[in-house]
């Protein structure tokens, strides 16, 4: 039992204790822990300068023993009345604080690990080929994204401009994306780095990974379709990637671990997780457009786990750094109401989605607000919340002159 007054059914109980970076008017960003509807000012409560840097990186770099020790200390503080008088003054109402990007992102990698998503996109982008490329079942396909445009939930989504060319067009034109989309994903944050030239075995996953956040990998499908052969997505993705402000410690997800789906082909030993313990995670995502529930992507359906992704990412000797973010790729389940992107939900724009107000959507319109939330099983039937990542689409910055110059 905890002495703070926790709302019934809160996803931010003592089994969660996610970390974030917050500020109040006139104060500097510092580390906090979400507790019910409050945030515990860790910098003030601990007096430890590691929590006053304005990002979680320094604490994440301390490693699993330090993470476990602080978690234990926080639980003691919040359950033992003896600590109440010292701790309670550092609990602030969450509604009064601003939340910041919790981590200084080092490298950002995005995977492509939902079989259902990969098959759906393969069918749409490469209709004349098998939906999965031959490598897909043998390795978790991934690519590097732009770390500098990872931003915290709430950052406006300026509709990107770029080149696009419909098959019937003679030449590409420049202009605002007409197929602005979302990708509902789960992100993993590296705390402890590794040495150049040495791989990180799958079994060492929890020695390196600190925690989990939600990711919306905003995507401009028209830009992406024109640019992505042969070197992969670039401007179709790099304009913004939004992350949730609360980083849920890996330790909070122990009740969410599940075996991943059965694999179709034998895995090479460095990816074989049969002995290391499975890192499938039963995280239930929800995608909302202007408040209306669009889909419920099940993370437990992901073919490749984060532990496999990390082992693959480093098998060539690439080193990790504190602050590396790697995301799962769009989470889509087998059901039509489990798809994590609009391009899947509207089947490439050919089957518009009808909203409760009677309007329809294929891709995002200016003013639309997309919110991702998620939860996972905690102890004793409780739920762990992953916070939310939200963003409102702003019109493209596209002037009359730009319009003239969009075509030659």
Q: Which residues are catalytic?
A: 117
Report d(CA 392, CA 107) in Å as an integer: 25
Closest distance to a second copy from the beta carbon of 165 (Å) = 8
- Which 8-state DSSP code applies to residue 91? E
Task: For residues 64 and 78, give the distance between their C-alpha atoms in angstroms, rounded to a whole number.
Answer: 21
Place of tokens 């079989």: 115
Q: Is 183 annotated as a binding residue?
A: yes
Cis before 230? omega within 30: yes
CB 114 within 8 A of CB 141: no
Nearer to a second copy by Cβ, of 44 and 139: the residue is: 139
Three-state secondary structure along 164-180?
A: ECCCCCCCCEEEECCCE
Instruction: Tell whether 322 is in a known binding site.
Output: no
Would you say 6 or 318 has its CB closer to a second copy? 318
Closest by Cα among 331, 351, 356, 355 to 341: 331
The CB-of-33 to a second copy minimum distance in angstroms stands at 28
User: Is 224 among the annotated ligand-binding positions?
Assistant: yes
Minimum CB distance to a second copy smaller for 354 or for 399? 399
Count Cα atoms within 13 angstroms, Cβ side, for 137.
Answer: 11
Q: How far is the CB of 373 from a second copy (least distance, A)?
A: 24
Q: Measured from the CB atom, is 240 or 296 closer to a second copy? A: 240
126 is in an annotated binding site: yes
Phi, psi of 205 (to 5 degrees): -45, -50
Task: Give the C-alpha separation, 128 to 123, whole Å.
Answer: 8
112 annotated ligand binder: yes
Neighbours of 271 (CB within 10 A): 20
Q: Is 305 annotated as a binding residue?
A: no
Instruction: Compute the least distance from the CB of residue 143 to a second copy, in Å.
Output: 4
Least distance in Å: CB of 60 to a second copy? 15
Q: Tokens in use for 374?
A: 């998620």
Rg value, the chain, Cα: 21
Nearest distance from residue 208's CB to a second copy, in Å? 13
Cα angle for residues 106, 26, 390 (degrees, 5° grid): 50
CB nearer to a second copy: pick between 354 and 404: 404
Please report the DSSP string for 195-223 in residue order. Answer: -TT----GGGHHHHEEEEEEEE--EEHHH
**270 labelled binding-site residue:** no
Question: In the beta sheet, which residues pair with residue 193?
Answer: none
Pick between residue 2 and residue 163 the one whose CB is nearest to a second copy: 163
Annotated binding site for Ca(2+): 110, 183, 185, 217
Annotated binding site: 110, 112, 126, 183, 185, 217, 224, 228, 237, 241, 330
């Amino acid at each position: 039992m905890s002495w703070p007054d926790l709302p019934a059914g809160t996803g931010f109980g003592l089994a969660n204790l996610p970390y974030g970076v917050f500020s109040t008017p006139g104060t500097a960003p510092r580390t906090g822990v979400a507790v019910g509807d409050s945030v515990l000012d860790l910098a003030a409560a601990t007096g430890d300068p590691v929590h006053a840097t304005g990002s979680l990186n320094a604490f994440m770099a301390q490693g699993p023993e330090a993470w476990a020790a602080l978690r234990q200390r926080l639980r003691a503080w919040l359950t033992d009345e003896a600590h109440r008088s010292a701790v309670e003054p550092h609990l602030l109402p969450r509604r009064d604080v601003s939340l910041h990007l919790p981590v200084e992102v080092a490298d950002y990698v995005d995977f492509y690990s939902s079989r259902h998503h990969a098959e759906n996109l393969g069918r749409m982008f490469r209709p004349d080929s098998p939906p999965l490329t031959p490598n897909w079942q043998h390795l978790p396909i991934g690519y590097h994204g732009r770390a500098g445009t990872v931003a915290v939930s709430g950052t406006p989504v300026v509709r990107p401009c770029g080149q696009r060319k419909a098959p019937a067009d003679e030449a590409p034109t420049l202009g605002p994306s007409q197929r602005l989309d979302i990708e509902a994903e789960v992100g993993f944050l590296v705390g402890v780095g590794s040495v150049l030239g040495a791989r990180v075995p799958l079994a060492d996953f929890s020695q390196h990974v600190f925690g989990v956040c939600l990711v919306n990998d905003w995507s401009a499908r028209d830009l992406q379709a024109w640019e992505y052969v042969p070197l992969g997505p670039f401007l179709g993705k790099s304009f913004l990637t939004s992350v949730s402000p609360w980083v849920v410690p890996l330790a909070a997800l122990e009740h969410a671990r599940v075996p991943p789906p059965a694999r179709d082909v034998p895995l090479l030993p460095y990816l074989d997780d049969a002995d290391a313990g499975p890192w499938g995670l039963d995280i239930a995502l929800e995608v909302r457009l202007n408040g209306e529930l669009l889909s419920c992507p099940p993370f437990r359906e992901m073919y490749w786990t984060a532990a496999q992704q990390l082992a693959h990412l480093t098998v060539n000797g690439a080193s990790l750094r504190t602050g590396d973010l790697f995301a799962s790729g769009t989470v889509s389940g087998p059901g039509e109401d489990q798809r994590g992107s609009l391009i899947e939900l509207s089947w490439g724009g050919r089957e518009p989605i009808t909203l409760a107000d009677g309007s329809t959507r294929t891709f995002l319109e200016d003013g639309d607000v997309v919110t991702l939330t998620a939860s996972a099983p905690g102890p004793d039937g409780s739920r762990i919340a992953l916070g939310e990542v939200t963003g409102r689409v702003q019109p493209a910055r596209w002037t009359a002159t730009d319009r003239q110059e969009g075509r030659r």
